[in-house]
Amino acid sequence: MPVEVAEQVAGVVESNPLMSISPLQYQAPQFDQIKNEHFKPALVAGMAEQLQEVDAIANNPEPATFDNTLVALEKTGALLNRASLVFYNLAGSSSNETIRAIQGELAPKMAAHRDDIYLNKALFKRVDALYQQRESLGLDAESLRLLEVYHRDFVMAGAQLNDAQQQQIRDLNEQEATLTNNFRQMLMAQRDETAVVVDSVDELAGLSEGQIAMLKAAADEKGLDGKYLIYITNTTRQPILTNMDNRALRDRVWQASVNRGIAGENATYPLVQQLTALRAEKAKLLGFDTWADYRLAPAMAKTPQAVRDMFSSMVPKVAANVEREAEAIQQMIVAKGETFKLQPWDWAYYANQVRAERFALDESEVKAYFEFKSVLEQGVFFTMNKLFGVTFKPRPDLPVYHEDVLAYEVFDADGSSLAIFYGDYFAREGKRGGAWMSAFVKQSGLLEAKPVIVNVMNIDKAAAGQPTLVSYDHATTMFHELGHGLHGMFSDVKYPSLSGTSVSRDFVEFPSTYQEDWAANPEVLANYARHYKTGEPMPKALLDKVLASRSFNQGYDTMEYMAAALLDMEWHSLAVDSKVEDVAAFEADALAKNGVKLDYVLPRYRSGYFSHAFPGGYSASYYAYMWSEILAADAFAYTQRSGGLNRASGDKFRKHVLSVGNSIDPMETYKAFRGEAPKTAALLERRGLL
Q: Which residues bind Zn ion (CB under 5 A)?
A: 509, 512
- Buried b / exposed e over 71-106, threshold 16 CB at 10 Å, is bbbbebbbbbbbbbbbbbbbbbbbeeeebeebeeeb
Q: What's the CA gap between 421 and 408, in Å, rounded? A: 5
- The verdict on whether 560 is a catalytic residue reads no
328 CB neighbour count, 10 Å cutoff: 18
Nearer to Zn ion, 481 or 557 (CB): 481
Rounded-to-integer distance, Cα 386 and Cα 645, Å: 7
Catalytic position from the list 53, 142, 481, 570: 481
CB of 481 to Zn ion, least distance (A): 7
Please report, for residues 334, 335, 493, the alpha-carbon distance to residue 339 in angstroms, rounded to integers and kept in the order given: 6, 9, 64
Shortest distance in whole angstroms from residue 456 CB to Zn ion? 11
CA pair distance 384, 514, nearest whole angstrom: 12
Task: Identify which of 460, 556, 473 has the alpha carbon closest to the alpha carbon of residue 517.
Answer: 473
DSSP character at residue 18: G
Using Cβ positions, the residue closest to Zn ion within the complex turns out to be: 512
Q: Which sign does the torsion angle of CA 586, 587, 589, 593 carry?
A: positive
CB of 501 to Zn ion, least distance (A): 9
Q: How far apart are the first and last CA of the chain?
A: 62
Secondary structure in 3-state letters for 357-389: HHCCCCHHHHHCCCEHHHHHHHHHHHHHHHHHC
CA distance 678 to 632: 9
Look at residues 678, 672, 671 and name the one whose alpha carbon lies nearest to residue 626. Answer: 678
> How far apart, in whole angstroms, are the C-alpha atoms of residue 113 and residue 83?
15
CB of 680 to Zn ion, least distance (A): 20
Give Rg (Cα) of the chain.
Answer: 26
In the complex, the smallest distance separating the C-beta of residue 435 from Zn ion, rounded to whole angstroms, is 7
In the bound state with Zn ion, the residue whose beta carbon lies nearer, of 187 and 380, is: 380
- Minimum distance between the CB of residue 558 and Zn ion, rounded to whole angstroms? 18
Q: Which is nearer to Zn ion, 295 or 480 (CB)?
A: 480
Cβ 631 to Zn ion shortest distance, Å: 13
Nearer to Zn ion, 409 or 509 (CB): 509
Q: Which is nearer to Zn ion, 351 or 489 (CB)?
A: 489
CB nearer to Zn ion: give 53 or 509.
509
Compare residues 515 and 639 and give the one whose CB is closer to Zn ion. Answer: 515
Residue 437 Cβ vs Zn ion, minimum distance, rounded to whole Å:
7
Give me the DSSP letters along 652-687.
Answer: HHIIIIITTTTSS-HHHHHHHHHSS---SHHHHHHT
Name 469's bridge partners.
371
Residue type for position 44: V
Beta-sheet pairing, 436-441 with 452-459: antiparallel
Nearer to Zn ion, 93 or 512 (CB): 512
Helices (H), 286-314: 291-296, 304-312
Beta bridge partners of 81: none
> What are the residue numbers of the active site?
481
